[in-house]
Amino acid sequence: MAIQTEVSQRPNRSATIKTLILILTGVLSFFALILPETFSDSAYPMAIGEASPQDILAPYSLTFESEVLTEKARQEAADGISPIYLPTDPSIGRRQAESLRTILYFITTVRQDDFATLEQQIADIQAIDAIDLSDETITRILQLSDSRWEAVESETTAVLEQVMRNTIRESDLYSAKRNIPSLIDFSFPQDQADIVAELAEPFIVPNSLYSAEQTEAAIAEARQAVAPVIRSFISGETLVRRGQIIEDVDWEALQRYGLIQTGNRVRDVVGAGILAVLLTVLVGLYFRWRRNTQNYSFKSVVLISITFLAFLTIGRFAIIDRTILPYVLPLAAFALTLSTIFNFELAAILSVVLGIMTAYGMPQGFNLTLFYIIPTLVGMLVLGKAHRIASFFISGITVGIAGIGIILSYRLPDSVTDWVGIATLSGAAMINGIGAAGLTLLLQYGFSQILGTTTALQLLDTSRPDHPLLQLLLRNAPGTYQHSLQVSNLAEQAAEAIGANGLLVRVGAIFHDCGKSQNPQFFIENQILEKVNPHDDLDPLTSAQTIISHVTDGVELAKKYHLPSRVIDFIREHHGTMYTHYQYTQAVKEAGGDETQVDKSLFTYPGPRPQSRETALLMLADGTEARARAEAPKNEEELRSLIDTVFIFYTQNHQLEDTNLTLKDLQIAKESFFQTLKGTYHPRVKYPALGIKTEPTPLPQPEEKALPK
């Protein structure tokens, strides 16, 4: 019970450790986001209005829209717009003339009031709100004769109408009022002319009003018509000279280059932290989602994390304050390596995360993000299973071409980037792709050595017909060689059907019986018909040990010829912990039928049982092919029954328990075996006699080993 508890706790402990590794990677990624700028010595503590402590040069070429200069140009355009007034409104003049006549009529009424005293009349006229006459003027008005008052009244109305016929704006009001005396008839005495002017002046108002809406619209149109002001600097150009007073336009350029130390990076740190958390959660959710179908080992997780951090850190420190280098950085090599070692899905997820983090906060950051992600995904799709070295370089060229496409799509509409700049960046993108291909070849070799996995290139190189170990097997045990080829075809088709590594299964199957080349005559497929079977002269134990030794001999030969460790697993596991049934049965018979007198372990293969889907398929294919050779099924029903028997046999003997083969996988594998073997054991047409007098010698039918029934 304690053992079961310990075993059940192992997955939880492993998941916890992997989670801690993921969190640690997220924390270190956060520091990779903020440290390059922290340790950069290219920022200066300055403020607008202060003198520059030294000459400051542009670290790289840069073209940008100057918001400061653009705003100044727009403000100048707005200041050049004159106020817009509405056309002269005659109704205003009519209203003012009517108001004046009403006031004059009231004054006439006051003058004709014989019952009011002089003081009362003065008080009544002072009560008029529209005009503000002095006591002296009111007294003169009251003392005028009726004829003279009528003349003043008539002249006042005429002067007002004459003035209001002209266009009067707010700015013209003062001059219009000052011009009143020149409009009064010169026949009037000065004192009466003054009365006319004083009565008319309050009623002179602007008749051409200011239009705020039209003026604002004109200003907005003028501002919009101003094109953005573009500033360009080339690498090494002086931005600010020593002792120069920093102005807002200089400050803007320094900020664009990130050469200003603000002293407060809280927002930058918080932003980087949020991004790191989000992407860490994304990766964590992916691993949780794929936990049931793809369980990555502890060593794999650590290696992926270290490689990711290496690419991210080098990328962040290398591309800061650079123009061309970001487009040369072979970031795609990381994802291409993961695609060849693990799978496309993992590589795609981590390539997106790496691309976002590397370009975060950089000039042209969005463009760089797409430049890092899209060509990488295209390159992985082109690389596929990476069965040839040429595939890597084709993939690299594709990465470069896709990168050029990203550059053109964003730089061509940008009028500030000339053709020389576009050509330079395109060349950098092509170098990026080719460099990524070469780096991927190196990295996948390193990954395979550290993780003990095999790459497609290693497998293809190992499976060449001229491989020394295959040549040894072909010369010493040709029957075993042919048997291995048949098994490899059978197992490979099944592996492809269930989504396992078909190439690995094929190579492992070709070498699984290489140990038989040491004692080929002891195995039925290499024996000649009608010859003495060497097992007949051996006791059961020696015979069993000779047969079992082909596993250990195969492992020794595989190590001698430097086969990949993953291929050696096929040699070790293809018989699992089964036993040599025939020899064990013979030993029991010789012991009088008492099984206790026979040590069964001496007749058992060293194992272990198959540890993966691939080695399990080899075991099933090996047993199926051997039994089919021995029984030669005559129809499809017999063939299906034979395959079912083999699968049941190994299942009941617990040989598949250490693999993650599902019932669905087994059903698919059975159908694949049937379809492959059906073409091999189909009935043949009997040809008519060729008219040859001598009877042809019948071909010998070799006996094959078979599973016990």
Percent over 70 (pLDDT), the chain? 89
- pLDDT given for residue 534 in this prediction: 73
Of 577, 363, 557, 334, nearest to 440 by C-alpha is 334
Percent over 90 (pLDDT), the chain? 37
Of 77-91, 190-204, 354-368, 477-491, where does mean pLDDT reach its minimum? 354-368
How far apart (Å, rounded) are the C-alpha atoms in residues 323 and 234?
10
- pLDDT given for residue 264 in this prediction: 55
For residue 415, pLDDT over 70 is answered with no
Domain range for 113 is 90-203
Looking at the structure, tell me whether residues 24 and 121 fall in a common domain: no
528-542 average pLDDT score: 71
Looking at the structure, tell me whether residues 444 and 475 fall in a common domain: no
Question: 496-516 burial string, b = 16+ CB within 10 Å, else e?
Answer: ebbebbbbbbbbbbbbbbbbb
- pLDDT given for residue 698 in this prediction: 44
Of 154, 201, 152, 161, nearest to 181 by C-alpha is 201
Of 643, 629, 704, nearest to 675 by C-alpha is 643
Alpha-helical segments (H) within 48-172: 67-79, 90-111, 118-126, 135-143, 146-164
Domain boundary residue, one of 169, 203, 237: 203
Task: Assess if residue 82 is contained within a domain.
Answer: no
How far apart (Å, rounded) are the C-alpha atoms in residues 57 and 74?
29
**Angle of the 135-143 helix axis to the 90-111 helix axis, nearest 10:** 70
Q: Are 387 and 343 in contact (CB under 8 A)?
A: no
CA distances from 94 to 108, 172, 176, 316 (A): 21, 19, 17, 77
Alpha-helical segments (H) within 416-455: 419-451
How far apart (Å, rounded) are the C-alpha atoms in residues 363 and 369?
11
Looking at the structure, tell me whether residues 432 and 492 fall in a common domain: no
Q: From the CA atom positions of the chain, what is the Rg in Å?
A: 50
The whole-angstrom distance between residue 161's C-alpha and the CA centroid of its chain comes to 78
Task: Assess if residue 698 is contained within a domain.
Answer: no
For residue 376, pLDDT over 90 is answered with yes
Residues 6+ apart with CB under 8 A from 508: 566, 567, 569, 570, 571, 614, 615, 618
**Residue 433 structure tokens:** 């792709």
pLDDT tens-digit readout, 577-616: 998 888 888 888 888 888 788 888 888 999 899 999 999 9
pTM: 0.58
Task: Assess if residue 62 is contained within a domain.
Answer: no
pLDDT tens-digit readout, 73-107: 999 999 998 888 889 899 998 999 999 999 999 99
Q: How many Cβ atoms sit within 10 Å of the Cβ of residue 627?
A: 21
Kindly report whether the peptide bond that precedes residue 608 is cis, defined as omega within 30 degrees of 0: yes
- pLDDT given for residue 294 in this prediction: 65
**Angle of the 298-319 helix axis to the 344-359 helix axis, nearest 10:** 30
How far apart (Å, rounded) are the C-alpha atoms in residues 675 and 669?
10
**Distance in angstroms between the alpha carbons of the first and the last residue of the chain:** 37
11-25, 406-420, 574-588 — which one is most confidently predicted on average? 574-588
Looking at the structure, tell me whether residues 423 and 477 fall in a common domain: no
How far apart (Å, rounded) are the C-alpha atoms in residues 306 and 171?
76
Q: Are 296 and 349 in contact (CB under 8 A)?
A: no
Residues 6+ apart with CB under 8 A from 680: 486, 628
DSSP 8-class letter at 85:
B
Of 644, 645, 526, 621, nearest to 570 by C-alpha is 621
| Phi, psi (deg, nearest 5) at residue 66 | -85, 110
Of 94-108, 175-189, 297-311, 688-702, where does mean pLDDT reach its minimum? 688-702
How far apart (Å, rounded) are the C-alpha atoms in residues 502 and 488?
9
Looking at the structure, tell me whether residues 357 and 295 fall in a common domain: yes
How far apart (Å, rounded) are the C-alpha atoms in residues 398 and 407?
14
- pLDDT given for residue 536 in this prediction: 65
Of 148, 157, 226, 221, nearest to 189 by C-alpha is 148
**Residue 426 structure tokens:** 């395109």
DSSP 8-class letter at 230:
E
Task: Assess if residue 311 is contained within a domain.
Answer: yes
Q: How many residues does the chain have?
A: 709
- If one counts the domains in the chain, the total is 3
Domain boundary residue, one of 453, 486, 510: 453
- Give the chain's mean pLDDT: 84
Model confidence at 699, in pLDDT bands (50, 70, 90)?
very low
Q: For position 544, which CATH number holds?
A: 1.10.3210
Looking at the structure, tell me whether residues 298 and 428 fall in a common domain: yes
Task: Assess if residue 654 is contained within a domain.
Answer: yes
Task: Assess if residue 641 is contained within a domain.
Answer: yes
Beta bridge partners of 245: 51
- pLDDT given for residue 700 in this prediction: 40
- pLDDT given for residue 646 in this prediction: 92
For residue 527, pLDDT over 90 is answered with no
pLDDT tens-digit readout, 301-342: 899 999 999 999 998 888 876 778 889 999 999 999 999 888
Looking at the structure, tell me whether residues 476 and 622 fall in a common domain: yes
| Phi, psi (deg, nearest 5) at residue 260 | -115, 130
Kindly report whether the peptide bond that precedes residue 189 is cis, defined as omega within 30 degrees of 0: no
For residue 434, pLDDT over 80 is answered with yes
Looking at the structure, tell me whether residues 273 and 298 fall in a common domain: yes
3-state SS string over 175-204? HHHHCCHHHCCCCCCHHHHHHHHHHHHHHC
- pLDDT given for residue 7 in this prediction: 39
- pLDDT given for residue 253 in this prediction: 85
Task: Assess if residue 274 is contained within a domain.
Answer: yes
Of 102-116, 258-272, 511-525, 590-604, where does mean pLDDT reach its minimum? 258-272
Taking the alpha carbons of 26, 32, 35, 37 in that order, is the dihedral positive or negative? negative
Name the residue type at position 76.
Answer: E
408-435 average pLDDT score: 84
Looking at the structure, tell me whether residues 445 and 484 fall in a common domain: no
- pLDDT given for residue 533 in this prediction: 65
Strand duo 230-233 + 62-65: pairing: antiparallel
Looking at the structure, tell me whether residues 410 and 501 fall in a common domain: no
Of 168, 170, 169, 200, nearest to 182 by C-alpha is 200
Of 91-100, 289-298, 555-564, 688-697, where does mean pLDDT reach its minimum? 688-697
Task: Assess if residue 110 is contained within a domain.
Answer: yes
- pLDDT given for residue 701 in this prediction: 37
How far apart (Å, rounded) are the C-alpha atoms in residues 197 and 677?
124
Looking at the structure, tell me whether residues 503 and 448 fall in a common domain: no
Looking at the structure, tell me whether residues 443 and 480 fall in a common domain: no
How far apart (Å, rounded) are the C-alpha atoms in residues 434 and 196?
96
**Residue 460 structure tokens:** 């293809």
CA distances from 184 to 153, 161, 402 (A): 12, 12, 87
How far apart (Å, rounded) are the C-alpha atoms in residues 154 and 701?
145
Of 46-60, 233-247, 402-416, where does mean pLDDT reach its minimum? 46-60
